[in-house]
Structure 1
Amino acid sequence: MALLVSCPTRSLADDLRALSDEFDNASSLAAWSRIFEVEGWGADQMESLDINASRSGYLTMVPKTSSWYRDWRGILMFKRVTGDFVVTMEVEPRGRNLEGAPNSSYSLAGIMARAPRDTLTQPSEWTANGENYIFLSLGTANNPGHYQFEVKSTVNSSSHLEIDEGAQRAIIQVARIGEVFLVLRKLEGRDWEVHRRYRRSDMPDTLQVGITAYTDWSPIELMDPFEHNRSSIDGHNPDLNAAVDYFRFRRPRVPSALAEADFSDRFEVSDAQVLDLFGDRANRDPAAAAVVELEITGKAYAPGIGLEVEFESIPGVFYRVEKSEDLRSWTFVESAEAVAERSSFRVPETQGKASLYLRIAED
């Protein structure tokens, strides 16, 4: 039996991966749900929305005057996710003239994780104090014309927001580990950082996870929330054109050493540990070619038994092995967490086959 072993470092399987969107095909817009449709509001608060049209390889969102705050409900395009997740998005928010930061207050775009209001199917069923979500957005907040981040946690329509200096482009990320939500960001030319941590024991297992965009707060604060929620508002001073390069879903794998840890506590799980688990590790293009980096340190073949492969590994990282007879169709063999700097997989022999190909990857 001839055997070839290759070790690409990208994940080979992830049950959330299929939800990701690189925004290079206009037809993928149909895979996203819109909150104004799902809840039966009948009023689209978006001026324009397209994939791979206004800008090649991007989702482009141009919202009308609308917002998320307390009982005011704005724009959300989403996919339903059950259990833990990590989502990553690269966003470039600009004013409608595309020449810099928006010039209207609270004009931002970003990631939102929201508790569904499944009993709400038409405006007459709406009740106050029912909004529960977390988001991180980039654009301009209380200083129009300057880039800022807004991060917000809303519990039963009571919103707590924080504003920080922003940038014209950033990669942002939200991870859910049980009751804890981790909010990360990476500005151009800088390293990843853990921006905020939230414990939200009220959040249900299944959430609406996706992209929000909102603009022009000044006239909205004078409106009744219910009227805002059921209206497509023309006029005023909306000023946001948000370009999103990609939105990637992954299922996080938490090492056994942190299985019972409180991710909301920086003393129990440090920023460095969070960044080692997430950040770039959780932000990989599903279509990108595999990069071979893992080093095979040994392999032994026993006739009638199979092959044992030893490779360099990182303790706490999960690895997966798959096998193929033709380099086209791959079958899962085993997945395990590395507990040392060298790990091994044993692959049973395939009877009557002249060759067997294996690949090992971070899972």
Structure 2
Amino acid sequence: MTPTLRRLYLLTMPLAAALLSGQAAPPPPGDITTLSDEFEGDALGPGWALFHDVYGWPNKLKAMDVGQTTKGALSMQPLHSGWVRDLNAPFIFKTVEGDFDVRARVRTRGLNGEVPGGTWSLGGLMARVPNGLKAATWEPRRENWHFITTGVGLEPGKVMTETKGTYNSYSSLKLRPYRSGWIELRMVRVGMALFVLARPDGGSEWEVRDRFYRMESSPMMQVGLIAYTNSPDVPPGPEDPVKENASVNKQAKVDMTFEVD
């Protein structure tokens, strides 16, 4: 199967060699291509779960729509939030068992410009190991996930890809310069390894941006889309995940839209 790479796709892929050669192996029995979504209607398709709804956290999305902000695309506008250590932010996902290959054509921009304002304004693909904890039963040091995002990182106005691995709520990240506008992101799981890749919109060659090797082999992962941003109205200070996860700042100005075609 050769999917069209201008949409979001999920498929099984058991062979690491297939990734490195750029060829997709034929899906084995029980393939998960039905989890794909082209975002061509006016609402999310069936099967998507919203992290805040499932686990009882407040909604940190200022707005989300399908086909209204940009025709044929999902648009997410996050409020002040972040996926790092024990903190959480907007995340929509589907649960996938075993190996997978997920691809998305994405764009992270400002509300009125090509580049989001402020710092730490990024969106992209994430794979998270569910830990069974809801807001009422939350415990620290239980987050395990990996992602690849695009947008603005530490330096205002400079577009990057951010790759981040979080193990028991310890996060390690890498920021690397990249182009603005529409690009394609990809995440592949092969056993206990995860590869994250990117390429220019319409390009032919994938570039590996990072590799992760998991410390546990959970067959289930929540795979989907994240978006988060840092408002300049919120002064830096000691991190308090209990307080920050349970509250939402709707007054702090934000300048970011994440889109998935």
Other-structure match for 1:77 = 92
Other-structure match for 1:58 = 73
Query: So what's the TM-score if we normalise by structure 1?
Result: 0.61
How many positions carry a matched residue from both structures? Answer: 234
Q: State the Cα distance separating 1:196 from its structure 2 match.
A: 1.2
2: distance between equivalents of 1:40 and 1:117?
14
The correspondence of residues 42-53 of structure 1 with structure 2, limited to 5 A, is: 43-53=58-68
Q: State the Cα distance separating 1:29 from its structure 2 match.
A: 4.3
Other-structure match for 1:343 = none
2:229 alignment partner, one of 215, 231, 249: 215
2:42 alignment partner, one of 7, 18, 26: 26
1:107 alignment partner, one of 121, 124, 145: 121
Question: Residues 220 and 82 (structure 1 numbering): CA distance in 2 closer, same or farther, change over 3 Å?
Answer: farther
Gap regions ≥5 residues in structure 2: 4-25
Question: Residues 240 and 9 (structure 1 numbering): CA distance in 2 closer, same or farther, change over 3 Å?
Answer: closer
Q: State the Cα distance separating 1:221 from its structure 2 match.
A: 5.0
Tell me which amino acid in the other structure corresponds to 2:85. Answer: R
Say if 2:81 is the partner of 1:86: no
Say if 2:147 is the partner of 1:142: no
1:40 alignment partner, one of 26, 33, 56: 56
1: distance between equivalents of 2:235 and 2:149?
18
Say if 2:142 is the partner of 1:130: yes
Other-structure match for 2:241 = 225
2:44 is paired with a residue of what secondary structure?
helix
1:66 and 1:216 in contact (8 A); partners too: yes
Q: State the Cα distance separating 1:167 from its structure 2 match.
A: 1.5
Say if 2:131 is the partner of 1:117: yes
2:199 alignment partner, one of 172, 186, 200: 186
2: distance between equivalents of 1:206 and 1:153?
17
Other-structure match for 1:172 = 185
Other-structure match for 2:11 = none
Q: Which moved more, 1:125-134 or 1:198-207?
A: 198-207
Q: Indicate the percent of aligned positions where both proteins have the same amino acid.
A: 33
Question: Residues 220 and 36 (structure 1 numbering): CA distance in 2 closer, same or farther, change over 3 Å?
Answer: farther
Q: State the Cα distance separating 1:32 from its structure 2 match.
A: 1.0
2: distance between equivalents of 1:142 and 1:207?
28
The correspondence of residues 311-330 of structure 1 with structure 2, limited to 5 A, is: none
Deviating above 6 A after TM superposition, structure 1's stretches of 4 or more consecutive aligned residues are 8-14
Question: Residues 227 and 9 (structure 1 numbering): CA distance in 2 closer, same or farther, change over 3 Å?
Answer: closer
2: distance between equivalents of 1:67 and 1:155?
16
1:29 and 1:51 in contact (8 A); partners too: no
CA offsets 1:120-165 (integer angstroms, 9 cap, x no match)? 23x2311110110000000100111121111000000000000000
Q: State the Cα distance separating 1:183 from its structure 2 match.
A: 0.7
Gap regions ≥5 residues in structure 1: 1-7, 246-363
CA offsets 1:199-232 (integer angstroms, 9 cap, x no match)? 1132511010000000016638535111111122
2: distance between equivalents of 1:226 and 1:210?
24
1:26 is paired with a residue of what secondary structure?
coil
2:37 and 2:45 in contact (8 A); partners too: no
1:150 is paired with a residue of what secondary structure?
strand
1:235 alignment partner, one of 251, 255, 260: 251
1:66 and 1:220 in contact (8 A); partners too: no
Other-structure match for 2:166 = 154
- Which entry has the higher C-alpha Rg, 1 or 2? 1
Tell me which amino acid in the other structure corresponds to 1:15. Answer: D
2:146 and 2:166 in contact (8 A); partners too: yes
2: distance between equivalents of 1:9 and 1:106?
34
Question: Residues 9 and 200 (structure 1 numbering): CA distance in 2 closer, same or farther, change over 3 Å?
Answer: closer
Q: State the Cα distance separating 1:189 from its structure 2 match.
A: 6.3
1: distance between equivalents of 2:249 and 2:52?
14
2: distance between equivalents of 1:85 and 1:228?
32
